């Protein structure tokens, strides 16, 4: 579609880290830079040199790495009005960063010039041109971010355009129009960019435009795509849209839209298969949960739940998928829920290696049981291991590796030394679980302590089974979630426990539901242990499922 290639400019390491609870160490930033390089991002904004020791160290460290495609950009502002350009500490720090690219921002909105900088409008024009002119011979790529441009244009279009003219005169390679407050809607973008292009044409400038949008009106992706369609050739954003307040334009949504839907060319377009991996890598290093509902790269982006949808997707995925998930490194998922139909059951059976015919009465039986359990509060979307065990129980192929004869859990609390009232914080609580099992006709008794009653029960169960199934030592409980399903009964409400377990080969989820949190946890623990033993036995039998 487009004759010119686009430039993708990532600012996760700088603008992204202004997001609440999203923090990156220097080592994290270096690792993310390398990951963005693998993805084919054209420019990676590393931060504001001199703003803090960590930013300075990043620019020093990144020189030790050879990037295959990405070029690092340093970010800063125009000079302070009281400093000559060649003596301004900010501009000197930008040059000292020794990056291939420098991006500086300047004020486009007359309100900011008067109230933030507290200088005359003409003085702001001077420092824009001076700053860029100083940097131009000292860097390979020079970009100008026109901060608050859209707000500035709406308030005083003549002055906003004058700031762009000075940036052109100073030698900027790109004029990046910024919706810094994130309040501009797509209905406004087209007219403003058209006016900018008309003005630049009248002045004889052939400079390229870029777009930098924030998401305060939930329009950052739409505004960015619209700007590109109107002729902008650089788009700035962050991975997963992280950023101050409501975030920045989300590159993980923008890039596949540009490449797969709008036909634009850029280096990362050929590497979109790494997009989901990169997205989750960034959230992991930022110690944030991944947004499962995120378009393109979210876990639910290609998940199908309703039976009619599943049936259609099996015939032709395009019926309910706007792109093939593999193109962005994601996968199709068929969910099991109270909306499941026969197609869901058959799809899961095939996945588990279970031979079921669509006309088999067992399909209806499994579906009926599933819906009964989900009305009680069971949820299998995050507990597929429990669902496979449910199916195998219905088929009569679930093996009983052990049988519970009984368990007891004791929590003992003693007052802290020196406590004088019930309200004072007590010392530790000690939990102990004892359990009796029947394994292969033999009765086994074990006891164990734990950090909490569920951990004590888990330890006692493993201890009792260790002599029979030593491979259980490989299993780790990776996540444990409790959700209250109905609050009208207060502390007697029904709860759902979801457990994620894993070994060195795989991870699996199991579920339990009860009015008693320990009972619900026991159900999920038993399914977790049973699934591990079944999985290992199936692997020994060559994947046939015998003995399961």
pLDDT tops 90 at residue 62: yes
Indicate if the pLDDT at residue 339 is higher than 90: no
Supply the mean pLDDT for the chain.
89
State pLDDT tens for residues 205-259. 999 999 999 999 999 999 999 999 999 999 999 999 999 999 999 999 999 999 9
User: How would residue 545 be classed by pLDDT, with cut points 50, 70 and 90?
Assistant: very low
User: 314-350 b/e with 16+ CB inside 10 Å = b?
Assistant: beeeeeeeebebeebbbeeebbbeebbbbbbbbbbbe
Q: What is the pTM of this model?
A: 0.71
- The three-state secondary structure class of 119 is coil
Do residues 309 and 253 make contact, with C-beta atoms less than 8 angstroms apart?
Answer: no
Q: If you search the block for the tokens 């009015």, which residue do you land on? A: 515
Spatial neighbors of 323 by CB under 8 A, at least 6 apart, are 256, 260, 261, 296
184-214, pLDDT tens digit by residue?
999 999 999 999 999 999 999 999 999 999 9
Q: Where in the chain is the domain with CATH 3.20.20.70?
A: 7-285
Q: Are strands 442-450 and 476-484 parallel, antiparallel or unpaired?
A: unpaired
CATH of domain 402-414+428-468: 3.30.160.740
User: What pLDDT score does 546 carry?
Assistant: 36
CATH class of 377-394+475-548: alpha beta
Q: What is residue 523's predicted lDDT score, i.e. its pLDDT?
A: 96
- pLDDT over 50 (residue 2): no
Is the pLDDT confidence value at 506 over 80? yes
CA separation for the pair 270, 494 (Å, rounded): 50
Condensed to tens digits (0 to 9), the pLDDT of residues 457-476 reads 999 999 999 999 999 999 99
Nearest to 275 by CA among 228, 323, 325, 220: 325
Res 241: pLDDT: 98
* Cα dihedral: 525, 529, 534, 536 (round 10): 140
Q: Tell me 505's DSSP state.
A: S
User: Within the chain, which residue ranges are assigned CATH 3.30.160.740?
Assistant: 402-414+428-468
Span 302-306, mean pLDDT?
77
8 A C-beta contact, residue 500 and residue 508: yes
391-438 per-position pLDDT tens digit: 888 888 888 999 999 999 998 887 666 555 555 455 578 899 999 999
pLDDT at 81: 95
pLDDT band at residue 548, thresholds of 50, 70 and 90? very low
Interval 363-379: pLDDT, tens? 888 888 877 887 788 87
**pLDDT of 98 over the 70 cut:** yes
Fold of 7-285: TIM Barrel (3.20.20)
């Amino acid at each position: 579609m487009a004759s010119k290639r686009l430039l993708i400019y990532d600012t996760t390491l700088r603008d992204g880290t202004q997001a609440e609870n999203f923090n990156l160490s220097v080592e994290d930033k270096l690792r993310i830079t390398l990951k963005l390089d693998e993805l084919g991002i054209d420019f990676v904004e590393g931060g504001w040199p001199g703003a803090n020791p960590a930013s300075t160290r990043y620019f020093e460290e990144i020189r030790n790495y050879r990037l295959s495609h990405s070029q690092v950009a340093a970010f800063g502002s125009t000079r302070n009005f009281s400093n000559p350009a060649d003596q301004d500490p900010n501009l000197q720090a930008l040059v000292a960063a020794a990056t291939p690219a420098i991006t500086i921002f300047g004020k486009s909105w007359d309100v900011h010039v008067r109230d933030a900088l507290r200088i005359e409008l003409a003085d702001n024009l001077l420092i824009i041109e001076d700053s860029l002119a100083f940097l131009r011979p000292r860097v390979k790529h020079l970009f100008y971010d026109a901060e608050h441009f859209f707000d500035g244009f709406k308030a005083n279009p003549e002055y906003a355009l004058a700031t762009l003219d000075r940036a052109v005169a100073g030698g900027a390679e790109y004029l990046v129009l910024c919706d810094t407050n994130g309040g501009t809607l797509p209905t406004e973008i087209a007219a403003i960019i058209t006016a900018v292009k008309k003005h630049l044409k009248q002045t004889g400038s052939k400079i390229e435009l870029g777009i930098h949008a924030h998401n305060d009106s939930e329009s950052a992706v739409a505004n960015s795509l619209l700007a590109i369609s109107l002729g902008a050739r650089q788009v700035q954003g962050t991975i997963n849209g992280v950023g101050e307040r409501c975030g920045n334009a989300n590159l993980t949504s923008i890039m596949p839209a540009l490449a797969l839907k709008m036909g634009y060319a850029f280096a990362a377009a050929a590497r979109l298969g790494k997009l989901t991996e990169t997205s989750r890598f960034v959230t992991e290093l930022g110690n944030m949960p991944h947004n499962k509902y995120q378009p393109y790269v979210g876990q639910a982006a290609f998940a199908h739940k309703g039976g009619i949808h599943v049936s259609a997707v099996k015939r032709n995925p395009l019926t309910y998928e706007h792109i093939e998930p593999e193109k962005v490194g994601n996968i199709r998922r068929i969910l099991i829920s109270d909306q499941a139909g026969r197609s869901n059951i058959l799809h899961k059976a095939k996945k588990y290696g279970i031979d079921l015919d669509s006309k088999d009465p067992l399909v209806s039986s499994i579906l009926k049981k599933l819906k009964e359990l989900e009305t009680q509060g069971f949820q299998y979307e995050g507990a597929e291991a429990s669902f496979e065990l449910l199916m195998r129980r219905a088929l009569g192929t679930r093996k009983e590796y052990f049988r519970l004869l009984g368990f007891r859990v004791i929590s003992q609390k003693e007052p802290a030394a020196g406590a004088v009232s019930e309200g004072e914080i007590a010392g530790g609580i000690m939990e102990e679980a004892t359990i009796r099992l029947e394994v292969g006709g033999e009765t086994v008794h074990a006891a164990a302590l734990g950090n909490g009653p569920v951990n004590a029960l888990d330890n006692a169960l493993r201890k009792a089974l260790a002599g029979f199934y030593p491979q259980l030592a490989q299993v780790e409980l990776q996540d444990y979630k409790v959700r209250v399903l109905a609050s009208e009964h207060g502390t007697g409400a029904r709860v759902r426990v979801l457990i994620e377990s894993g070994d060195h080969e795989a991870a699996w989820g199991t579920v339990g539901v009860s009015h008693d949190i320990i009972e619900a946890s026991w159900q999920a623990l038993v399914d977790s242990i049973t699934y591990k033993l079944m999985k290992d036995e199936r692997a020994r039998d060559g994947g046939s499922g015998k003995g399961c």
